[in-house]
Amino acid sequence: MQVVKAWDAIIVGGGIIGCSLAIALRKKNWRVLIVERGEPGQEASHAAAGMLADFPLELPLLLRKIAAASARMYPEFVHELRDESGIDPDLREDGTIQLFPADCSEPRQGLSRLADLSGVEPTLAIGDLQAFLLEECSVDPRALTSAAVQAARHRQVDIASGTSVVEVVIAAGQAAGVRTDKSSYGAPVVVNCAGAWASQIGPLRIPSKPVKGQLLSMVGGPALRHVVRAPGVYLVPRTDGRLLIGATLENAGFDKRTNPEIIQRLRAAAIQFVPPLAEARILEAWAGLRPGSPDDLPILGATQIPGYFAATGHFRDGILLAPVTAQIMAGLILGEPHAHDISAFSPLRFAE
């Protein structure tokens, strides 16, 4: 099938990473097409909990600088998406209560010890754990991604949904578009933002892998103000009254089924820390597929094929890293400088 050039860039994948990058490129007047295998925003972005966890102990050393930069970008990022979409991503700035075992020897720099929780989270029961307060935010990823999709459409990003990219088309040694299971689309720049499915696109193998996570939400329980991260479980409140509880880390391929025993185990762990949740009901249980990589670091940058880029492998941090990823990748594609060293994340580190 003949490929006809129609866009400046094609982004494969319509999650928060792909949509954020599309918006960044549209700001530079590039014509952008997103090609999404399903419906935009319905995979890992839809399944995430939404903790903007830039706490250093939660992150690999090489990710800490860009994670902190991305967290600082979030208020403006959310404000812009809300204005352009009319959808509120529910950015909450009350902070995170991090619980550690009493004998934990991890460094505590930058943490505020909470000696008395009664006036902060009166329903939180921590036993002999230590509680520290982190200045972190959270967001509703479903609302955030819906806002990003709508903002992309508002900025006249084209979206082809329900079609899977099979391969990047190469002409004269460089990217010239993509071939899907239904059609072909032309552009001199292609960015693989396909998350856990990034490895299924030829001719290069981007080594992403699915890492399953199961979560549930509850309603009718006490209203927590803070995100709570405890050994074995985390709790993320939403402004509408939902409480998200998660999450597992499973190498289960592309299986997105939930396991009732695991869901009940997560519920029981949450009740251990917030006993009144025993009276709450489960609203929903689901599983998502995080895009992992062999070294648990993102895959960001140019591939060995001119015009072909990758922005995937964000693992547990795709929501957090969306604004900085869009900034970095747009700068790289446009040949504009950016402030971040991403050499450790280059796709070329996996080149044979």
Q: What is the pLDDT of residues 138-183, one digit of tens each?
A: 999 999 999 999 999 999 999 999 999 999 999 999 999 999 999 9
- Residue 339, Cβ neighbours under 10 Å: how many? 11
* Contact (CB, 8 A) for 235 and 121: no
Phi, psi dihedrals of residue 113, rounded to the nearest 5°: -75, 135
pLDDT value at 1 more than 50? no
Predicted model pTM: 0.95
Those residues with Cβ within 8 angstroms of residue 263's Cβ, 6 or more apart along the chain or in another chain:
214, 216, 282, 285
Mean pLDDT, residues 45-65 taken together? 94
Q: Which two tokens stand for residue 261?
A: 């025993």
Domains and CATH numbers, the chain: 9-83+141-207+294-350 (3.50.50.60), 96-134+210-292 (3.30.9.10)
pLDDT value at 2 more than 50? no
pLDDT value at 110 more than 70? no
Tens of pLDDT, residues 15-49: 999 999 999 999 999 999 999 999 999 999 999 99
How far apart are the C-alpha atoms of 50 and 34, rounded to whole Å? 23
CA dihedral for 120, 121, 122, 128, sign (positive or negative): negative
**Unique residue bearing structure tokens 């929780």:** 117
pLDDT value at 109 more than 80? no
On the 0-12 / 13-18 / 19+ scale of CB atoms within 10 A, 108 is middle
Those residues with Cβ within 8 angstroms of residue 103's Cβ, 6 or more apart along the chain or in another chain:
none
How far apart are the C-alpha atoms of 148 and 164, rounded to whole Å? 21
